[in-house]
Amino acid sequence: MIKSPYGIEADVTFDEAARVAIKSQVDALMLNLEGTIKGDDIEALHDMRVASRRLRAAMSVFAPAFPTRQFSVLEKEVARVTDALGEVRDSDVLIEFVDEMKQHAPESEQVGLDAFRGHLVNVRNAQRVVMNKELNRMSKSGFARDFESLLSGSKRGNS
């Protein structure tokens, strides 16, 4: 039997499972916020992106457990955050790939790889500015507090 990654037992209600799954991903997302904004730890960005993608998936599955209006606002916010994180993370992965290629490339090709890497770093830096604006906006908007309210609020059928 496959166990839930959230420790959810088979006998819990849909609403209870929704709250556990979503809270787990919101917590993981917020845990990596500071490191992602600072930018000195690409693993924080990776972990935050994973949490945001899992949060989106959990929200998709458990949408019927929550009031529609409040839920849809948060769903849009999570989508914006996920997109901003994804652009920077994709650039990080591409830069790592170019670094790996350079280690095995002939000397005659390294100048071109250095130039390409420089371009990628510039693109990534511009993406980080956009990402940090989004993360700071999210942080100031009361994102975590809004999720707490959602998770402790009323159940299905409210809008």
Q: Which of 88, 63, 65 minimizes the C-alpha distance to 76?
A: 63
Domain chopping of the chain, boundaries: 14-152
Q: Is the dihedral of CA 2, 19, 68, 53 positive or negative?
A: negative
Distance CA 71, CA 157 (A): 12
pLDDT given at position 9: 80
DSSP H or E segment with residue 4: none
pLDDT given at position 2: 57
- What number of CA atoms fall less than 13 Å from residue 107's CA on the CB side? 0
pLDDT given at position 152: 87
Q: Which amino acid is at 83?
A: D
Tokens describing residue 153: 């609020």
Residue with tokens 């409210």: 158
Considering the domain delimited by 14-152, tell me its CATH architecture.
Alpha solenoid (1.40)
pLDDT given at position 120: 97
Indicate whether this model's pTM tops 0.75.
Answer: yes
The answer to whether 114 touches 101, Cβ cutoff 8 Å, is: no
Residues with Cβ within 8 Å of residue 121, at least 6 apart in sequence: 95
Low-confidence ranges of the chain (pLDDT < 70): 1-5, 154-159
Tokens describing residue 93: 């992965």
pLDDT given at position 159: 42
